[in-house]
Chains A and B, each alone.
Chain A
């Protein structure tokens, strides 16, 4: 990227200074009205117009460097230009056959999986990275925990105890296995349906519930709607509602990691609908060009609120879009915890060791409604929902595999579920009884320090609150 930060007057001075420095070395053979100077010896040389007044000086090289992108990648030294087109961006072969690349596909990119619907390994043997008992049990337990939390919190919204909620039904494996494949130093940029990843990293049930109730123990200080979690401690950047805005941010954050040579990557999540946003293009293209270590995980769950993927794209889903940016990509069964785990492990390794972005398209149906503000039976059949809910449940599938290994029993199951329910009920009770954040938090964090207009507005507001206390909720303390 040619992003010179100098202002134009500074630029002029810079060129003037360079024009006083004579070039050393020989000029190459003249071609018409051009001088050839070696810019990178043996690799690339610069063609400088002979008519430029500063042609013998450093200034000419500087000016040519500014237009570096117009140089061929490799200079063609001889005149063998008949079969190849020497063009900015690289050499490309000519053809006399006019042929369009087809817009449609005969064969779709296959979907990688490890487990069959019955929880059995498809391919026997150690074809995949081993998930040991400890890891498997934690993955499974977290998936169950997420399911139960979602069930209870959805119900809490229906009862009017929280204002809003979004569930992850059907996508438990996609997010939890992804997080399991990362280290705690990898930075996660969620869309809004990835609490599984945060749960994996150790965000407690109480912390989840506090955010949903927006009480004073919410890390976000009660400012955002429920499920807009964030935790710097867990390297999980706070959720914002707008779609795909996190993707260009991911490219930038990954570039920062690259600059600092950190052994870490960024993992940015997006849905199928989000790939239609402009920021999807910007995020992927920047990451590719900057060679930044970011894994883009697209949770293709079949629906963008009420828009089915058949109305979302005409391509073979999302996986094929990666190649357009020069990004290696894979399609994986998002309901298969082991497949997701392996794919993200491999993606992470590629991203960090090769310092480049990777695209993972996870296919896992959105079993729940888009949110508590949605009734998805209005636009899809009950049969379809039921099928994915029962026959294709990722949690059931993984449990079967864990049980087959002798790592899980019915007793474990009963104990886990009862324990989670108890913790959850307690957390909800505590959160509901906790005060909201104090009024002063309305004015903090707009900037690092409140500017004078906010200081004044807080003063006036407090006068109003004192005068009309009944206009305002009583669970917001005025301290």
Chain B
């Protein structure tokens, strides 16, 4: 229609009534019409992830459901500066995009954000910490937890490379692969439950491409396979120490 629509879902936990429209309609609009029609002007924003007291329905990370849908893009910023640049790219991208914002960072994150217009590229992962012993891959709020684990690991002489995937669909395999070719080890961490989480896609892909280079199995430190619990949240979460233990196990494999 020539206009852009930016929809907001107040919590990602409530996005499911729109699932049919996103999967069956938005994702297939261009393809099914032979490119006569498209809904590239659509961007959907939704706060996602743990907030400390959100329970089942204010804490979910549903990115994996959407990463399984050719035709849409899935983008997750890790900080305020990233959020602005990525969101502007999403809005201007000629494809429908689902933009998950880590609600944990809403009141917490403080950063210098340029006032001018700027865009950050989609489908380009960023190496936010250089290292040589193991590659860590994550997105959103989880990156700061992973960074803390990297700092601790460094004290034990382990050099960690940390990658912010930023766009989960279509994801930047080249950057991750290049890093794994360097380190020979990879660990993925996300809040969403481990089974069927997006870490599984990254793991399978890296094994396909880097099998002979790998020195250890691909590690995943993720949420448990349960609904997101309230009182048990600290036990459910992929904590710094869980990640640290997995880094050491992978390096010492």
Q: Write the residues of chain A forming the contact surface with B, with a CB cutoff of 8 angstroms.
A: 163-164, 214, 222-225, 228, 240-243, 277-279, 436-437, 439, 441-443, 446, 453-454, 457, 461, 464-465, 467-468, 471-473, 476
Q: Is B14 an interface residue (CB 8 A)?
A: yes
Instruction: Give 7 new A-B contacts, CB below 8 A, not counting A225-B58, A473-B231.
Output: A225-B230, A441-B232, A442-B224, A454-B224, A464-B242, A468-B241, A471-B241
Minimum CB–CB distance from B14 to chain A (whole Å) comes to 6
Q: A446-B227, A457-B224 are in contact. Are A278 and B17 (CB under 8 A)?
A: yes
Write the nearest CB–CB distance from A191 to chain B, whole angstroms.
13
Say whether A241 contacts B57, CB under 8 Å.
Answer: yes
Cα A115 to Cα B53 with chains together (Å): 42
Given A223-B229, A277-B17, A436-B231, A453–B57 Cβ distance below 8 Å? no
- Chain B interface (Cβ < 8 Å from any Cβ of A): 13-14, 16-17, 52-58, 194-195, 224-227, 229-232, 234-236, 239, 241-242, 245
Show 22 residue pairs from A and B whose CB-CB distance is below 8 angstroms, ordered by the A residue: A163-B52, A214-B230, A214-B231, A223-B55, A223-B227, A223-B229, A225-B53, A225-B55, A240-B57, A241-B57, A242-B13, A279-B17, A443-B226, A453-B195, A457-B225, A464-B239, A464-B241, A468-B239, A473-B231, A473-B234, A476-B232, A476-B235
Determine which of B52, B194, B231 lies in contact with A437 in the assembled complex, contact meaning CB atoms within 8 Å: B231
In the complex, chain A residues whose CB is within 8 Å of the CB of B224: 442-443, 454, 457, 461
Q: Is the Cβ of B58 less than 8 Å from the Cβ of A222? A: no
Q: A225-B58, A242-B57, A453-B195 are in contact. Are A461 and B235 (CB under 8 A)?
A: yes
CA distance A471 to B194 in the complex (A): 20
| CB-contact partner of B231 in A164, A223, A240, A242, under 8 A | A223
Tell which of B52, B225, B234, B241 touches A454, judged by Cβ atoms closer than 8 Å: B225
Known contacts A464-B242, A468-B241, A476-B232; A228/B13 CB under 8 A: no
Please give, as numbers and ranges, the residues of chain B lying within 8 Å of A214 by CB-CB distance. 230-231
B225 to chain A, nearest CB (A): 6
Asked, given contacts A164-B53, A223-B55, whether A454 binds B235 with beta carbons under 8 Å apart, the answer is no
CB distance from A387 to the nearest CB of B (A): 29
Rounded to whole Å, the gap between the CB of A344 and the closest CB of chain B is: 29
> Nearest B residue to A240 by beta-carbon distance?
B57
Which B residues touch A222, using CB under 8 A? Answer: 229-232
Main secondary structure on chain A at its contact with chain B? loop
Q: Which residues does chain B contribute within 8 Å of A454, judged by CB atoms?
A: 224-226
Q: Measured between C-beta atoms, what is the minimum distance from B217 to chain A in Å?
A: 15
- Cα–Cα, bound, A473→B236 (Å): 12
Which of B53, B226, B239 has most A Cβ within 10 Å? B226
Chain B residues within an 8 Å CB radius of A442: 224, 226, 229, 232, 235-236
Q: Which of B52, B231, B239, B245: most chain A CB closer than 10 A?
A: B231
CB pair B56–A223 under 8 Å, yes or no, is: yes
Nearest chain A CB to B141's CB is how many angstroms away? 17
B234 touches A471 (CB 8 A): yes
Chain B min CB distance to A281 (Å): 12
Nearest residue (CB) in B for A216 is B231
How far does the alpha carbon of A278 sit from the alpha carbon of B234 in the complex, in Å? 35
CA distance in complex: A358, B239 (Å): 50
- In the complex where A225-B53, A241-B56, A453-B225 touch, is A471 in contact with B239 (Cβ < 8 A)? yes
Known: A242-B14, A242-B57, A468-B241. A223 touches B236 (CB 8 A): no
The answer to whether A465 and B56 touch (CB under 8 A), given A223-B227, A241-B13, A242-B13, is: no
Residues of B within 8 A of A436 (CB): 231
Measured between beta carbons, the chain B residues less than 8 angstroms from A472 are 234-235
B-side contacts of A277, CB under 8 Å: 17
Greatest chain A CB density within 10 A among B57, B194, B229, B239 is at: B229
Q: What is the CA–CA distance of A454 and B58 in the complex, to the nearest angstrom?
A: 23
What is the distance, in angstroms, from B74's C-beta to the closest C-beta of chain A? 22
Contacts of A163 in B (CB 8 A): 52-53, 230
Chain B residues whose C-beta falls within 8 Å of the C-beta of A441 in the assembled complex: 232
Shortest C-beta distance, B168 to chain A (Å), equals 23
A439/B17 in contact, CB under 8 A: no
Alpha-carbon gap, A476 to B232, bound state (A)? 8
**A225 with B231: CB separation less than 8 A:** no
- The answer on a CB contact under 8 Å between A224 and B230 is yes
A443–B226 Cα gap in the complex (Å)? 7
Residue of B nearest to A444 (CB): B226
Residue picked from A223, A436, A464, most chain B C-beta under 10 Å: A223
Interface pair B225/A446, CB less than 8 Å apart: yes
- On whether A446 and B226 interact (CB within 8 A), knowing A163-B53, A240-B56, A464-B242, the answer reads yes
In the complex, the answer to whether A224 meets B56 with C-beta atoms within 8 Å is: yes
